[in-house]
Chains A and B, each alone.
Chain A
Amino acid sequence: MSLEELKKDLPYVRSRRNAFVNQRDDEEVLLIIRKHWIVDLIVLSKFLFFAGIPFALIMWLESRLVIFEAATGQVFILIFAMYMLFMLLYAYVNWMKENLDLIIFTNQRVVDINQNTLFNRENAETDLSEIQDARAQVTGILGSLLQYGKLTIQTAAEQSFFYMKYVEHPEKTVSWLLTIREWVIEQERKRTVHQKPKPNL
């Protein structure tokens, strides 16, 4: 199987070159594993819940006919504005954390990017040939209905693995990973055959 044939068997990738930081010039992205849109919905629900608290407070105060003096009103507006700004930032950073968690498969390696918090991120990478096993786990009613779950990719190094929650289509992803693995094995076999020394006669 050639690289072009392999690409046809995998889902569409928007940009194969210059797609992530530190991508090599001769490297092409084969597959990007991202999280399901359910994480966007979770972040949005959290934001709506926390942003709704001050509105509920205002309605409660209004129902009790509490009237502020001008100065108190000013302080209240400022506190409300600050709270809303930081709720917006909190939601945006949370969304960013989920959105920037990626496992990228190129024709040379696997790159795992983990954005833990705003100022904390981890990058790990390994050769494609190091991949030993891939496991998908779909749990719960929502997971089964919307097709998302956990993905674990075991590498040859002891106790080393890539792990991601809320992966979209985890079962399909595992089959794509196996296709990539087969391609890698085939490439290695070809390389070994070409490098085989001729016997001395």
Chain B
Amino acid sequence: MSILIVYLIFAAVLIVFTLLAWYSVHRVFSVPHPYHEARFVTGVFVLLSTVVVVWAVYLLLEIEWALLL
């Protein structure tokens, strides 16, 4: 039960993170002709965030799978 609460908190944090990240990217690209480094930094930010989320979900699924077996 307690781990379920932790998963729910993680899901809520992910939603808040996604909203804030979307707004930040929107602000950076509010300039009609953003500079190349804006695209590069935004790309790195989105890539690293995706890597963290995928890595966390993968490890969690691995632990869940091990517990089931």
Q: Which range contains the number of A residues in contact with the other chain?
A: 20 to 34
Instruction: For the complex, give the distance between the alpha carbons of A73 and B24 in Å.
Output: 32
Q: Mark A70-88, 1 if CB is under 8 A from B, else 0.
A: 1101110110111011101
Residue of chain A at shortest CB distance from B64: A74
Residue of chain B at shortest CB distance from A71: B3
Q: What's the minimum C-beta distance from B52 to chain A, rounded to whole angstroms?
A: 5
Instruction: For the complex, give the distance between the alpha carbons of A78 and B41 in Å.
Output: 25
Q: What's the minimum C-beta distance from A37 to chain B, rounded to whole angstroms?
A: 9
- In the assembled complex, which residues on chain B have CB atoms less than 8 Å from the CB atom of A75? 3, 6
Instruction: For the complex, give the distance between the alpha carbons of A95 and B59 in Å.
Output: 30
Query: Of A15-23, A56-64, A150-158, A177-185, which stretch is located at the interface?
Result: A15-23
Q: What's the minimum C-beta distance from A87 to chain B, rounded to whole angstroms?
A: 9
Between A85, A86, A95, the greatest number of chain B beta carbons within 10 A of the residue's beta carbon is seen for A85
CB-contact partner of A19 in B2, B9, B21, B33, under 8 A: B33
**Chain B residues proximal to chain A, CB less than 8 Å:** 2-3, 6-7, 9-10, 13-14, 17, 20-21, 23-24, 27-28, 30-33, 35, 37-38, 41-42, 45, 48-49, 52-53, 55-56, 59-60, 63, 66-67
Q: Could you list 18 examples of A-B contacts with CB < 8 Å? A: A18-B32, A21-B30, A70-B67, A75-B3, A77-B56, A78-B10, A81-B53, A81-B55, A84-B52, A85-B17, A86-B17, A92-B41, A93-B20, A95-B41, A99-B38, A100-B27, A100-B30, A118-B23
